[in-house]
Amino acid sequence: MTPGAAPEGGAVARTLSSLSVRNYRLYFWGYSVSVAGTWMQTLALAFLVLHLTGSGTALGAATAARYLPLVLLGPFGGLVADRYDKRRLLYLTQSASALVALLFALLTALGAASVGMVVVLSLALGLLTAFDNPARQSLIGELVPRDRLANAVTLNSVSVNLARVLGAAAGGAIIAAVGLTSCFLLNAVSFLAVLGSLAMMRESELYPVARPPRERGQVRAGLRYARRTPALLVPLVMLTVTGTLAYEFPITLPLVARGAFHGGAGTYGVMAAVMAVGAVTGGLVTAARGNRRRAGTLAISAVGWGAAILAAALAPSLPWELLALLFVGYGSIRFNSLSKTALQLAAEPAMRGRVMALWTLAWGGTTVIGGPLVGWAAQQFGSRWSLVVGGVPTVLLGLAMLPALRRIDRAADTRQDPPVTTHLPPAAAPLPTATDLRTPH
């Protein structure tokens, strides 16, 4: 199949259509390996902090430290992603993240880890993420034609959750068998996969976008653009609320595993893996649909996701908890994919990096507030309350935002999409100049 051609075949071909594009296929598999390593490290960090302190509040604070730089630098990171070569930027951020993982491994191997060092290194990871995430998310729009963008975004979410299945299950087993250090080492090695995939991409098959010229006030311009565009503003508001209160599973699941079900790393690994199985299922179902999605579906998905979180909070036993987590995973990836796709499609290509930086800030940066909050709720009222404080607002948010999203749908029905002039097919893409060379292969 040639790049940009319409996908042929049945449901499976539609679901996996973006993987027929070589550059995106490399991206998909490279990041799948890397994210599996990242989930091993996330699990290891959670249990390292719990081992050092035994405090849910400390776990929330340590997790929040990783996201603090997103709050301070997220929009600037998006501007950098719009201005500069995204692959070159990712070479730097991914290599530096591998070095941080090696430092974690060294500290745990020597028995020198402390909460202070965890916070410092988590801040370093957050600084890298502030630049890595906008570049990584907006790069997808340069790997596939526009008619496959929604599919590519959703498959990217599927890859994250497939990696979560492997990373969480393997991480729990590795911690139980040989300790925390191996998780950090394996994460460091996993970055080689994404670095290799970036190097193997064919520049001639990219779909480049026009880079904005250097001007004053470009970060503020991105914020104004999002604020004045309802199709961007409403999903970002929903992401901010749910990112703060609902999507704190690296904190809530270890607390529930330990507090409600008296388990450890193995119990958490099973819970995270089951949730990820639900997420993969939801992602494949969502990926089978094309770009033609109604904005109102985002509100409905929020209601369903919030109800599933509440069911997990009330589950009387571990088997019932695992059943509820299947639906939590399904709802999580559906809500995330729908919102992320809405932002990618509504944003002008030259603004996509800044818009996706706001997505990163709303979805992850809000952990600075939400992490300590859900950790405090669990410590004060019981571990199950860390889920309740996310489930209730998510349900109410979906109900409250449904009218606004339906207005966006009606507005979209009254106009036709403008022709895309900055997202050129490879054959029409301008040749790089001497000052615009990509990273050599």
The larger pLDDT score, comparing residue 213 to residue 341, is at 341
Kindly provide the b/e burial profile for residues 354-378, where b requires at least 16 CB atoms within 10 angstroms of the residue's own CB: bbbbbbbbbbbbbbbbbbbbbbbbb
- ∠ CA 73-226-127, nearest 5°, is 15
The pLDDT, as a whole number, for residue 425 is: 39
What's the confidence (pLDDT) of residue 11?
67
Mean predicted confidence (pLDDT) in 394-399: 94
Q: Is 263 helix (H, G, I), strand (E, B) or coil?
A: coil
Report the distance separating Cα 145 and Cα 191, nearest Å.
Answer: 27
Most confident of 277-281, 310-314, 348-352: 310-314
Q: How would you classify residue 21: left for phi > 0, otherwise alpha for psi between -120 and 50, otherwise beta? A: beta
Residue 289 pLDDT grade (very low, low, confident, very high; cuts 50, 70, 90): low
Task: Quick: pLDDT tens for 131-167.
Answer: 898 888 888 888 988 788 878 887 887 777 677 667 7
Q: Which of 167-176, 186-195, 269-278, 285-294 has the lowest mean pLDDT?
A: 285-294
CA 67-77-233 angle, to 5 degrees, is 80
Mention every residue, 6+ apart, whose C-beta is less than 8 A from residue 398: 238, 299, 300, 301, 302, 303, 304, 305, 306
Predicted confidence band of residue 434 (pLDDT cuts 50, 70, 90): very low
Q: Which two tokens stand for residue 37?
A: 């390593």
Structure tokens, 433: 């100049």
pLDDT digits (tens, 9 = 90+) for 54-85: 776 777 777 777 778 877 887 787 888 888 88
Tens digit of pLDDT for each residue in 206-219?
Answer: 887 767 667 777 77
Tokens standing for residue 115: 């909460």
Q: How far apart are CA 236 and CA 246, in angstroms?
A: 15
Q: Classify 111 as helix, strand or coil.
A: coil
Q: What would the mean pLDDT of 392-415 be, rounded to a whole number?
A: 86
Tokens of 374: 């859900």
20 vs 4: CA distance, rounded Å: 10
pLDDT, position 250: 77
Cα 57 from Cα 35, distance rounded (Å) = 26
Burial class (CB in 10 A: 0-12, 13-18, 19+), 441: exposed
The pLDDT of residue 285 is above 70: yes
Maximum CA extent, the chain: 64
- 339 within 8 A of 288, measured Cβ to Cβ: no
Closest CA to 263 of 100, 383, 102, 374: 383
pLDDT single digits (tens) 18-54: 888 999 999 999 988 888 888 888 888 888 888 888 7
Residue 210 backbone phi and psi in degrees, to 5: -70, 130
- Bigger pLDDT: 423 or 272? 272
Long-range contacts of 265-269 (CB under 8 A, 24+ apart): 265/43, 265/47, 265/171, 265/172, 265/175, 265/176, 266/172, 266/173, 266/176, 267/172, 267/318, 268/43, 268/46, 268/47, 268/168, 268/172, 269/43, 269/168, 269/169, 269/171, 269/172, 269/173
Q: What share of the chain is helix, strand, coil (3-state, %, to 5)?
A: 80, 0, 20
- Whether 337 and 153 have beta carbons less than 8 Å apart is answered as yes
Distance CA 237, CA 365 (A): 13
Q: Give the per-residue SS3 of 332-396.
A: HHHHHHHHHHHHHHHCCHHHHHHHHHHHHHHHHHCHHHHHHHHHHHHHHHCCCHHHHHHHHHHHH
The more confident residue out of 351 and 237 is 237
What is the mean predicted confidence (pLDDT) over 236-241?
A: 91
Which pLDDT score is estimated for 441?
Answer: 31
Whole-number average pLDDT of the chain? 81
Q: How far apart are the first and last CA of the chain?
A: 24
